[in-house]
């Protein structure tokens, strides 16, 4: 899968911008606040996801304009396709896929596949378990839509159980529905745990290879699933009554603590994944460069798994990825990612000058200009 053309109208500071990328690496460079990330945001929007900046669509409309428009042409293994995405904010949007109107942007999910890394993704490594669970849930949902359904149902039951726990803490009387919620949590939580374990085992395999290449095989990267219910080493492979019973028993064992805390203290909503570099916690002991490398390896691993499972190469979007990476790691991103179309934003020309092949685009005050590698090499001091 690859983007063959992008056209933007009144999208943030991009009044009228277009680009025709190559099939390999496309570097978008320019000073801060010129519009580089806006290009990636527009591409990501066409995958059916929300803004990775956390913005509302009304905030993406250029000042004093009524709506923005994104036109994305892309090719998969079978044909050329086109997405038109127009939004005036809120529910006032018109989306078409190959001329066919769509009701919501979520219907684009699975049609145009992409993976995004942005500076906020460093939270996967640097912050608490919630950020890692969010990454895991989003990644699995892309390839297993049923997973998102299970997760939504689990969270709904979890909320109901929490309300009953608060009632128990106040009245001291046992609520009759608690057993029903526990049984449902055990069934859904077990299924979700199996999905997560399976995905992380596969992700560990591909991400460790990517990190190895990234570090010149001087560092070793690993990750594993940390369940708050199942002890380490529990084979989470087959969904059966024994695993469900184990999950249910864990809920019963923590009931007194749950009542005191007025929340469910065990379950998939408390789980984590452990990221290590050379056997040490990347969060606690990793350098900033190592932490950034871990996050990038996870994202590139996510892309590799999407390719394995769907048969399509997702488009890789890497925003502000070069900072805090040494020359060898930058070279890997620019020249060693094969088989994927990649878009990389950066602030200076040093990175693009090391490209062996690809395309370079300079963004200045919302204007996008393609620059050949030859011209870039001849006049770097003026750029």
In angstroms, the CA 321 to CA 335 distance is 14
Backbone angles phi, psi at 214, to 5 degrees: -60, -40
What pLDDT is attached to residue 19? Answer: 95
Query: Which domains, from first to last, does the chain contain?
Result: 2-113+313-382 (3.40.50.300), 125-284 (1.20.1050.90)
CB 316 within 8 A of CB 340: yes
Residue matched to tokens 């409309």: 61
What pLDDT is attached to residue 89? Answer: 87
DSSP designation for 61 = B
Residue matched to tokens 């099939």: 23
Helix (H, G, I), strand (E, B) or coil at 256: helix
Of 225, 202, 320, nearest to 271 (Cα)? 225
Helix (H, G, I), strand (E, B) or coil at 3: strand
Mean residue pLDDT across the chain: 92
Q: What is the pTM of this model?
A: 0.90
Question: 48 is written with which tokens?
Answer: 């059916």
Q: Give the pLDDT band of residue 49 (cuts 50, 70, 90).
A: confident
Residue matched to tokens 């996008």: 368
Question: 283 is written with which tokens?
Answer: 């969060």
Check pLDDT > 90 for residue 10. yes
Q: Give the pLDDT band of residue 174 (cuts 50, 70, 90).
A: low
In order of 210, 218, 273, 382, the CA distances from 223 in angstroms are 13, 17, 7, 44
Check pLDDT > 90 for residue 161. yes
């Amino acid at each position: 899968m690859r983007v063959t053309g992008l056209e933007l109208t009144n999208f943030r500071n991009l009044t009228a911008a277009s680009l025709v990328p190559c099939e390999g690496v496309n570097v978008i460079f320019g000073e801060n606040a010129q519009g580089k990330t806006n290009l990636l945001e527009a591409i990501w929007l066409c995958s059916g996801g929300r803004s990775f900046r956390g913005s509302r669509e009304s905030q993406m409309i250029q000042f004093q304009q009524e709506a923005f428009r994104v036109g994305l042409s892309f090719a998969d293994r079978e044909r050329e396709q086109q997405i038109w995405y127009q939004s005036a904010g809120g529910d006032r949007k018109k989306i078409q896929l190959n001329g066919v109107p769509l009701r919501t942007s979520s219907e684009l999910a699975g049609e145009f596949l992409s993976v995004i890394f942005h500076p906020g993704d460093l939270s996967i490594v640097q912050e608490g378990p919630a950020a890692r669970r969010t990454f895991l849930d989003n990644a699995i949902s892309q390839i297993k839509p049923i997973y998102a359904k299970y997760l939504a149902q689990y969270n709904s039951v979890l909320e109901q159980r929490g309300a009953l726990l608060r009632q128990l803490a106040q009245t001291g009387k046992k609520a009759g529905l608690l057993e029903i919620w526990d049984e449902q949590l055990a069934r859904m939580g077990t299924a979700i745990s199996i999905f997560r374990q399976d995905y992380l085992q596969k992700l560990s395999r591909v991400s460790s290879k990517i990190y190895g290449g990234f570090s010149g095989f001087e560092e070793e990267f690993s990750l594993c699933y940390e369940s708050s219910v199942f002890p380490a080493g529990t084979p989470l492979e087959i969904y059966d009554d024994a695993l469900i019973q184990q999950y249910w028993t864990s809920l019963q064992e923590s009931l007194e603590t749950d009542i005191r805390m007025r929340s469910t203290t065990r379950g998939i909503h408390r789980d984590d994944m452990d990221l290590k570099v050379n056997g040490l916690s990347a969060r606690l002991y990793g350098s900033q460069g190592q932490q950034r490398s871990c996050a990038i390896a996870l994202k590139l691993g996510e892309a590799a798994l999407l390719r394995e499972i769907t048969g399509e190469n997702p488009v890789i979007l890497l925003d502000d990825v070069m900072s805090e990476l040494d020359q060898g790691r930058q070279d890997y991103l620019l020249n060693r990612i094969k088989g994927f179309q990649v878009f990389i934003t950066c602030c200076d020309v040093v990175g693009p000058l090391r490209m062996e092949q690809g395309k370079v685009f300079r963004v200045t005050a919302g204007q996008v200009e393609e620059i050949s590698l030859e011209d870039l090499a001849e006049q770097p001091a003026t750029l």
